[in-house]
Amino acid sequence: MFAIVNKADGFPVSRQVAGGAPDMVVTWTSDARAKAFIAAKGIEADYQVVPLTEDSLNQMAKVLGRVADAIAFDAYPEK
């Protein structure tokens, strides 16, 4: 699994959830698909793909202001 984060602050690409729940971090099943998403949006200069590892999850948790175990994920719909 892979996520896309902002190069400047490490904030992950997220999706808002109704009802005031915390945003869900969007994930991709492959590095190539996540990179294709970045390229299609023309945001390669500002965003990078990261594998979901313990270290990357801890970094995202710090940026999001919660513990890593509290991060919710949402898979990007792939065709």
Q: What is the DSSP string of 57-75?
A: HHHHHHHHTS-GGG--EEE
The H-or-E segment that residue 54 falls in is: helix 54-64
What's the count of helices (H) and strands (E) in the chain, helices before strands? Answer: 2, 5
Model confidence at 18, pLDDT cuts 50, 70, 90, reads: confident
Report the distance separating Cα 78 and Cα 1, nearest Å.
Answer: 13
Report which of residues 78 and 59 the model is more confident about.
59
The reported pTM is 0.89
Mean pLDDT of 48-65: 95
73-75/24-28 β-pairing:
parallel
| Residue 69 amino acid letter | D
